[in-house]
Amino acid sequence: MSFSKSAWLQRSAFVLLLALGCSAQAPSPASKTTRRITNQIRTQFNVPPTVEMTLGDRKPSELAGFDTLPVTLQDATRKKTVDFLISKDEKTLARLDKVDISSDPTSKIDLTGRPVRGNKDAKVTIINYDDFQCPFCSRMHESLAKDVLKTYGDRVKIIYKDYPLFTIHPWADHAAVNANCLNQQNGQAYWDFADYVHSNQREISGDKRPILEQTTELDRMALEQGKKNGLDATKLQACIKAQDDTAVKASSKEGDEVGVDSTPTLFVDGEKISGAVPLDVLAQIIDRALRAAGQPVPAKAPVNAEAVPPATNNPADPVPDSKKDKK
């Protein structure tokens, strides 16, 4: 998510500090330059009037023509120093945030052994942090499985990672484990199971259906897909019965570390997308990734922007599918 200047000011100034009481010491008179600087910082970054501000000593910066000016903000309980840039002629004040671009955030995502949908050698990779019980994930899954693969063919590959919201989706973890049990033997069995579960979420949950019945249904589905794909039934049954979710939890922890904050969350060659965005928006992002990779963008018919609604609350699932609800 990008931040506007006003958003930054709340993150930068407010995070620093809240109400400060009266100062016990009478301050020394401030120079006109100091006063202009403090007034501008308070105005531009919405610093609460009760927060005290102190300017430190200037020092050379990495940016030609500017010095670094440390500004300390303090209240009765907290203190934080923020570096600003001030021009040598004292006419310009700036704030520069450094962002590490030495590596792609998705380089931290472990894709070892994950099933691939599409062309495994494609230049553009779509990574989807998925929750099998999330209704927004169901919409995105349908979009990826049908529209994206139909439009982009062998130009993309799709890989899923587990990110079940354990508290609000009680059988999502169980479904992820079953899917991974299938993947241990056959990637296509994984995708067949994912297709079925995502399109039958309501039937699995039922109307106040006991959780044991829900997970039993998930086991039945997994065994059925195993039989369909010719898997070793004994091995599959043992894996399903064990319900070892170590890998699922590791994937979820990894998601936290790369900034996943809702489901679904996609990374299209490193560009993050939160929520079930409309198809035309998703297409723009994939097209941008293809161009960056030096790949041709396929001609396509206009997509229905309403086919995948924005990720807003669904009456059938009133709790937002977000990280704040995840335990």
What pLDDT does 301 receive?
Answer: 60
Query: Of the given ranges (74-83, 250-259, 278-287), which has the lowest mean pLDDT?
Result: 74-83
Confidence at residue 152, expressed as pLDDT on a 0 to 100 scale: 96
Give me the pLDDT at residue 322, please.
Answer: 59
CATH number of 105-325: 1.10.8.60, 3.90.45.10, 3.10.20.340, 3.40.30.10? 3.40.30.10
What single-letter amino acid sits at 78? R
- Determine how many CB atoms are found less than 10 A away from the CB of residue 33: 11
pLDDT at 285 over 70: yes
Quick one: tokens of 118?
């599409």
Q: Which among 164, 158, 171 is positioned nearest to 128, based on CA atoms?
A: 158
Alpha carbon distances (Å) from 23 to 53, 70, 75, 82 = 12, 21, 10, 21
Q: Model pTM?
A: 0.70
Residues 155-162 have a mean pLDDT of 98
Give the whole-angstrom CA distance, residue 242 versus residue 238. Answer: 6
pLDDT of res. 49:
83
Mean pLDDT computed over every residue of the chain? 85
pLDDT(259) > 60: yes
Greatest mean pLDDT range, 69-83, 102-116, 222-236: 222-236
- Proportion of the chain above pLDDT 90, given as a percent: 70
Residue 13: pLDDT above 50? no
Q: How confident is the model at residue 20 (pLDDT cuts 50, 70, 90)?
A: very low
Domain span(s) for CATH 3.40.30.10 in the chain: 105-325
**Number of alpha carbons in the 13 Å side-chain half-sphere of residue 290:** 19
User: What whole-number percentage of the chain has pLDDT above 70?
Assistant: 83
Classified as helix, coil or strand, 187 is helix
Are 233 and 226 in contact by the 8 Å Cβ rule? The answer is: yes
